[in-house]
Each structure stands twice: as structure tokens, then as C-alpha cells.
Amino acid sequence: MAREIKFSLVYRDMWQSSGRYVPRVDQLVEVAPAIIDMGCFDRVETNGGAFEQVNLLFGENPNVAVRKWTAPFHKAGIQTHMLERGLNALRMNPVPADVRELMFKVKKKQGTDIARSFCGLNDHRNLRLSVEYAKKAGMISQAALSITNSPVHTVEYYMGVVDKLVEYGTDEICLKDMAGIGRPTFLGQLVSDIKKKYPHIKVQYHGHTGPGFSPASMLEVARAGADYLDVAVEPLSWGKVHPDVITIREMMRADGFVVKDLNMDAYMEVRRLTQKFIDDFLGYWINPTNAIMSSLLVGCGLPGGMMGSMMADLKGFQNAINAAERSHGRPEISLDTLMVKLFQEVEYVWPRLGYPPLVTPFSQYVKNTALMNLLNVLNGKPRWTTIDKDTWGMILGKMGTLPGPLAPEIVALAKEKGLEFYTGNPQDMYPDALPQFREMMAQEGWDEGQDEEELFEFAMHEGQYRDYKSGVAKERFNKDLEEQRRKAGAPINVVRPVVEMPKFDVEKYVAAHPEAVPVQAPAKGQVLWEVDAIDTSRAPVAGTAVTAGKAMGYVQTFYGLEEIVPAQDGRVLDVRAAQGEKVEKGEIVAFIAK
């Protein structure tokens, strides 16, 4: 009897892999009936990842969005699933265990059925609590393997991770092929081994199309026993995103699998609405190159979604590199040549940093290190001269165990700098935090919300939640949208007036506040007061305690993050640089006082 292959529409990830934002809740509610009417989906990826933060950036309540978006699928009997990052949950930095546990309770109550949990390092310790908390909340636990192609990422390696995840109680395994570089036969063998050893475990495959392997990979994993395949729809399929459901469904049917019927009228309606959302405003933040596949991604293994940001980084680097080339009497380097050089440097750096799977945030760490190596080498300096603190955190084991060994020169460099390697469980470094967030909400007079969902959102994204509550987030987004429309030549629909800040008089301020000690920007770049997933949250409020020598914020430079460090202990008196504002080296970004 022929076996059925089921499909999941990754509507959230389609957008996140294409641009900065996902549709607003009103748009999601509009498209949901057409997705249901297509009739071919057993699952839809509705939230997780950056979904909640995107709604906060819109100035909207993400909890309302999740409930309204999942509701029509529940009514239709379609399962919903979310993506979460294990130790990092729904953000880019580690999350206390009690906040992680509350997340699963809240998301289940909001209508999310399946928790897809991944660790960028495939450290099973970072996924244990995800599995346990998901099942405790009544969700289906789907633990994901971050797929990459390296000498250490063998079938045996991944099966060792699977063994631990099954021991923890996971219900399903997802092969998260985020760069689309998993070789088809390898993926087929991995699925076959999982199914032979654990026949009760369902397997779902998620692969991006960037370098072109994914259709062949989908056929191989289906033949090996996979149960679900993640697919997309036009106009956001293919390119750096995911294969389109029409092609994959026909390929599966031609190979003898049973597949559900597809209502083409409904498909065209989903296609039309998706394009309408792009034309409305979401297209302003979609890089056109994300619609193009590239075989260059095979060698370096970088996720396709990074290409847009990487090319922007390269443009910033090009002037600095060509200045170095001219000073050495060498010809200037074109952007295409520079891109190839960067890919080659990534291939050099990656194994020496222990083969971290190139998924967020580790893909950024490897890319940033490669960029700085490239610049330093062209300037006659040694490699590894510049490594940012987040990359050091990965190297030192503070985020989990690296899959492969570090190169001897990296170990020697760490010892030279007096840095210590951490071998404990990363979660142990982050104590429970919900009591303090409850106290802060009480002080603000804020309700913890239905099923404590507002408490969760505040604890997960404190700064962004404050901006949402104050209205700053909506004003910021509307201002950004107006600017994007201005650049595109479209009519500007002013939603709120933009108030111009008066010019700041430093001398007058210091005269009025003799206790004020300035805090200066360490480099030219963009101020980020708290590093987070797709946007950072806010400036520290007046009265916030700061410690001498400890970062109170960051400046995003073209090569990575530089810490904003106060010279003395004290409390924030005033902040002079807004979130995302561009500053020059030495510019005053804040004042503190004892």
C-alpha cells in the first residue's frame, strides 16, 4: 500500500527568509481561509522565531496575533507549529529556565500545537528542557537537528544527538536544513537510520532552496521514511526560501506517494494575497537577491537568508579593503571578487572554529570573523586579530559544546588573553527571573494577561515590550515605513507626526548637571542598547545601574559589535543616542552619575 506524504506550509518562515517582517495580524487572518481551502496542508507554521518580535516592532500585541492566527487552522483541523531556539527560546541570547517553561504553557494556551526546538550547536543539553517543558504543557515536542555538511557532522554524530533527544521524550525529529546544503543521500541515510531505530518517531524535513539540493533531498528523505515536508507558495517560494508545494507535491505523486488534492483556485488566492501584502508595505524590506538561487552557497554553507545582510557588509568593507590595496600598490577589488574571497575565508575559518552549524546566531559569528580576517590579512595583519565578544562566548563553550575541535591557534589565543573555557551546562549561568518581572509589572500597573501571556512577553522581550506599551514602537515603525515609501517614490501616509528633537548642547547640559560623566561611542556605527533577534529593544531608562568596565550597550560596526563601557559605577542620568541611531567614534551616547 502506498504511503502518504504530508505537507506543512511554513508561511512564517517564508516571510522571515525573505525580509525583515511578517504580515500584520489582519493580513494573516485574511489569508488563513485561502490556505485552508488549498486542502493540501496537514500543518502550518504560524509563529515562533521572530514572529512575536515583529508584532512588537509594529507596535501591536503579539499575543493577540498568535491567538487570531492559529484559531482558523484549529477550527479546520490543521495543526500549527512554532520555532524556538532552545536555550535562546524566542530571542538571540540565553533565557532563564522559568521563562522558557512559561513560554510553552502560553503558546499551548494560545493555540500552538507543536514546538519545533533547535540548538544551533546541536548540544542536546540545550534542548532537554525544551522537550520536557513542551510535553508538560501538552504540546507535541519536535526536536530539530541543525543540518550542515562537514567531516564531523556524520550520520553517527546526528544519531548520537537523536538518541539523547528520544531519551528526553521528544515525539518527533525535524531535519532543519537551514542552508540547504545537506547532501540528499546523506539526509536519506539519516532518516532511514532514525526510522529503523525509532519507528514511532515522526520525521519532518525543512530545507531551503538556496544552493539547489532541496528537491532531491525531499525525494530522498521521503523514500527513506519521512512523514512531513515543509513547503512554500509563490511569490515567496524558491530563491533563498523553500520549494513550492506544487512542484514537490507532483514529484511525490509521480514517485508513488499518496498526497492530498490541491485546490488551484485557493492556491492562486494565497498567491494573490501574499503579493498584495508585499505591495502594501512588506516588500520595502525584502532584498530582491533573495529570489535568486546560488550555487556559491554550496562551498561556504551560509544560509541563504544571510546573503542580503552579507552583501551590505561587503559594500561597507569594500572601501576599507580597496584603500589597503591602493596603499600596497595593488589593484582594487570588485564586489564580486570580494564576495568569492569572503566565501573562501568562511571555508577557512569554519573548521578552525569547531564546525558550528551555520544557523543563527553562529552563522553571523563565523561570517563576521571571516570578514575581519579578510580585512586584516589585506592590511598585512595576522588572522584572528579581531574576534568579537559573542564569538568568544561561542569559542569558550558558554553557548554549548562545539561539534568539532578548535584549531590549536585559537586555543593558544584564548590562553594568551587569559580566557577560561566553560564546560558546564549553559542553562546554569542564567538564574530564574519571573519573580522580578512580576514585581516590575506590578510597579508599572500592568496586567499579567490571559494565561500570563503578557508576563511572558515582558520577560522574553523586556525592552521591546516596553516600547510597545509606550507607543514608541508604533511611532518608530511608522516613521521607518514613511522613509521607505519616500525612497521608493510612493505617497507618504503620515500616521503620527514626527517630532524633531532639539539640538543637544553638551556644555549647557554639563553645567546644569556637574555630576554627569559622559559615556562615549567606542566606534562609528549604529547604537544597539540590547542585542536581540531582529531588532534591539531600547535605551536604558534613567536610574538604571551600570558597572565600570561592563557593557551597558553596543555599537554595531561594519565588522561586528563594540561594547559601550562606562568608566565608573553609577546610574544612568540621561541617554543621548536613540535605539538604531548612527553615531561617530567618541560621540557622547549617555551620561551617568554616582
Quickly state the pLDDT bin for 490 (edges 50, 70, 90).
Answer: low
pLDDT for the residue 536: 40
pLDDT tens for each residue of 28-86: 999 999 999 999 999 999 999 889 999 999 999 999 999 999 999 999 999 999 999 99
pLDDT tens for each residue of 228-246: 999 999 999 999 899 999 9
Quickly state the pLDDT bin for 582 (edges 50, 70, 90).
Answer: confident
Q: For the domain with range 6-290, which CATH number is right: 3.30.540.10, 1.10.287.110, 3.20.20.70, 3.40.50.300?
A: 3.20.20.70
pLDDT for the residue 378: 78
Q: What is the DSSP string of 80-123?
A: EEEEE-GGGTTSSS---HHHHHHHHHHHHHHT--EEEEE-TT--
Q: Tell me: pLDDT of 498 over 50.
A: no
Query: What does the block give as the cell for 154?
Result: 556524520
Q: Are the C-beta atoms of 83 and 110 separated by less than 8 Å? A: no
pLDDT for the residue 584: 78
H/E segment holding residue 366? helix 362-378
Q: What is the CATH number of domain 502-593?
A: 2.40.50.100
Quickly state the pLDDT bin for 545 (edges 50, 70, 90).
Answer: confident
Segment 121-132 shows an average pLDDT of 97
Select the more confidently predicted residue: 263 or 487: 263
Domain segments of the chain as ranges? 6-290, 297-426, 502-593
pLDDT for the residue 313: 65
Q: Tell me: pLDDT of 494 over 80.
A: no
Q: Are the C-beta atoms of 577 and 583 separated by less than 8 Å? A: yes
The pTM of the full predicted model, rounded to 2 decimals, is 0.81
How far the first Cα of the chain sits from its last, in Å, is 76
Query: What does the block give as the cell for 451?
Result: 494565561
Query: What does the block give as the cell for 172?
Result: 518527533
User: Looking at 179-183, 429-433, 534-538, which range is the least confident one?
Assistant: 534-538
Select the more confidently predicted residue: 432 or 519: 432
Of 419, 395, 421, 532, nearest in space to 121 by CA: 395
CA 553 to the chain's CA centroid: 20
How high is the mean pLDDT of the chain? Answer: 89
Is the fold of 6-290 the same as that of 502-593?
A: no
pLDDT for the residue 92: 82
